[in-house]
Structure 1
């Protein structure tokens, strides 16, 4: 059910474990989709997860993505990418958020800022 801001609570089942993570109602659909993807990669059964953001609990990833995308996280830089995507760099967390329509991903690149500047197209 939407709250007074018109946004919805969302739930994600991660890794098919039956454990649902409920995101707060502050996250919109795009941010929730991004968090679901990132958490799915971070919690992979093979242990090869890479989609973590330093200092952000998996249950708060949607709210973090929403803050980055909507300008509520300070000092974030934005770039237009190929295919109509948008890339966001959070220097505080050394994290990248990528929006592709109403989906996307987020992670902390091993190459740090260099990934955002030189590799992300």
Structure 2
């Protein structure tokens, strides 16, 4: 068994033992099982899946980091939502605002540009995740 913790700036989303975890690493999807080698990796916006008591739980996560040590996996991310928590209209509005801000401040501040691009990527993935879940129900 593997102890999984998912933490956002607002709160601890999940803390319990699970069978396995699949997460969106910077270089692609990565699986983590009990006794995985220790590592730290960057996370990109995408789908995080874990299996608990034979049930697969899926979350849309934002950017962040994952640390594996012994039989523990800690996910630090700026977003972790299930499909019921995603509001497509709000996500579309956030994308529109970020795109407008990018046009307005193009090239001004590379860090601000990266943050706006991340906002767009997270919200695009959240919309895709919600739509995918709707089709599979």
> TM-score, with normalisation over the residues of structure 2?
0.25
Query: Which of the pair is proportionally richer in strand?
Result: 2
Q: Which has the larger radius of gyration?
A: 2
> TM-score, with normalisation over the residues of structure 1?
0.27
